[in-house]
């Protein structure tokens, strides 16, 4: 059965502690399977990069306020007991492996093994500049980040030496509760990113594309999988209202979203993730708190 997950309230300035907690608790009580965060830092007034690496495309206004990813996810993990909690996605270039390994392992321990870790390479040169990272190295950095994280999450003592990161012989703890590590999710769509996805990740969750396009690429990824790896799970991201109107992205009613869930189930999609962070009708904490009930028909479609 296709499961249905929700992206947590993070954007737009209307998120309060009470709204976030009610959102999490209601989503779990209703039967949503997972809760997800994304990662962005700030809203540059004169950006170097167009939104989503599209030259000249304005960054959506919702990004003027963004709750940080791992703190938001930690709160969701604490206020829930059953749902999967995950990142879709962290930008690898914004992090260093020892600190990130500790933070993610802590969430996995405190959530009792419910964490999924999603990565991509990002699109914002402005945000990479804030962490003194050359965005032209972002693919190589992601590859090395994965190697270093797996070393940190493996047996002690840990030792690692690479182009970007060096870890002296040391103990790095805690280890994740899940063994050998939490599942890894990829949000990448470039040729190099798809190669990485097939070789190293457990889940593919692109941020755009029609169902037909996603299924076609997913079939190619399955053929590229190393023979010792389990089949790649595919998650489909749906928007209540998209961040920008391009290609197949448009505002969808609850009935239309439910229809998409049914199509996903027929196609064998493992999970549908619904993102309402760009929904212009969410203009108060109360609107955020009530969103899981508003989207409850999607659970009926999945059943």
Tens-place pLDDT, residues 24-37: 999 999 999 999 99
Q: What is the pLDDT of residue 248?
A: 64
Mean pLDDT along residues 151-162: 98
Each residue's pLDDT tens digit, 214-231:
999 999 999 999 999 999
Looking at the predicted structure, is the pLDDT value of residue 211 above 90?
yes
Looking at the predicted structure, is the pLDDT value of residue 233 above 80?
yes
Q: What is the pLDDT of residue 4?
A: 98
CATH number, domain of 93, equals 3.20.20.30
Q: What is the pLDDT of residue 244?
A: 85
* Start-end of H helices in the chain: 17-30, 69-78, 97-110, 125-130, 138-153, 191-200, 211-224, 254-267, 285-289, 291-294, 297-302
Q: How many domains, in total, are found in the chain?
A: 1
pLDDT band at 63 (very low <50, low <70, confident <90, very high): very high
Beta-strand relationship, 203-204 and 183-186:
parallel
Separation CA 188–CA 210 (nearest Å): 15
Q: Are 197 and 191 in contact (CB under 8 A)?
A: no
- Note down the domain range covering 33: 3-302
Taking alpha carbons only, the member of 139, 92, 140 closest to residue 117 is 92
Q: What is the pLDDT of residue 250?
A: 80
Q: What is the pLDDT of residue 8?
A: 98
pLDDT band at 249 (very low <50, low <70, confident <90, very high): confident
Looking at the predicted structure, is the pLDDT value of residue 208 above 90?
no
Separation CA 137–CA 151 (nearest Å): 21
Q: What is the pLDDT of residue 247?
A: 61
Each residue's pLDDT tens digit, 65-111:
999 999 999 999 999 999 999 999 999 999 999 999 999 999 999 99
Q: What is the pLDDT of residue 290?
A: 98
The pLDDT > 90 percentage for the chain reads 94
Each residue's pLDDT tens digit, 49-62:
999 988 999 999 99
């Amino acid at each position: 059965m296709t499961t249905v997950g929700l992206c947590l309230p993070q954007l737009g300035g209307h998120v309060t502690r009470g709204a976030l907690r009610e959102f999490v608790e209601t989503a779990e009580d209703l039967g949503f399977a997972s809760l997800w965060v994304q990662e962005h830092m700030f809203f540059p007034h004169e950006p170097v990069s167009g939104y989503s690496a599209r030259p000249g495309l304005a960054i959506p206004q919702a990004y003027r306020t963004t709750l940080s990813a791992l703190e938001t996810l930690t709160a969701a993990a604490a206020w829930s007991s059953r749902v999967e909690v995950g990142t879709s996605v962290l930008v690898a270039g914004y992090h260093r492996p020892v600190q990130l390994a500790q933070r993610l392992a802590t969430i996995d321990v405190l959530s009792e093994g419910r964490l999924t870790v999603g990565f991509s390479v990002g699109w914002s040169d402005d945000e990479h500049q804030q962490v003194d990272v050359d965005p032209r190295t972002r693919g190589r950095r992601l590859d090395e980040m994965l190697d270093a994280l797996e070393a940190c999450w493996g047996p002690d003592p840990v030792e690692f030496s690479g182009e970007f990161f060096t870890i002296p012989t040391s103990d790095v703890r805690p280890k994740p509760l899940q063994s050998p590590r939490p599942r890894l999710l990829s949000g990448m769509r470039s040729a190099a990113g798809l190669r990485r996805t097939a070789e190293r990740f457990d889940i593919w969750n692109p941020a755009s594309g029609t169902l037909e396009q996603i299924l076609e690429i997913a079939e190619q990824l399955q053929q590229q999988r190393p023979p010792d790896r389990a089949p790649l799970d595919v998650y489909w991201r749906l928007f209540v209202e998209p961040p920008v109107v391009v290609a197949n992205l448009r505002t969808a009613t609850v009935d239309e979203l439910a229809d998409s869930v049914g199509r996903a189930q027929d196609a064998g999609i493992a999970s549908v993730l619904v993102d309402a962070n760009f929904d212009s009708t969410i203009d108060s904490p109360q609107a955020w708190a009530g969103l899981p009930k508003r989207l409850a028909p999607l659970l009926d479609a999945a059943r």
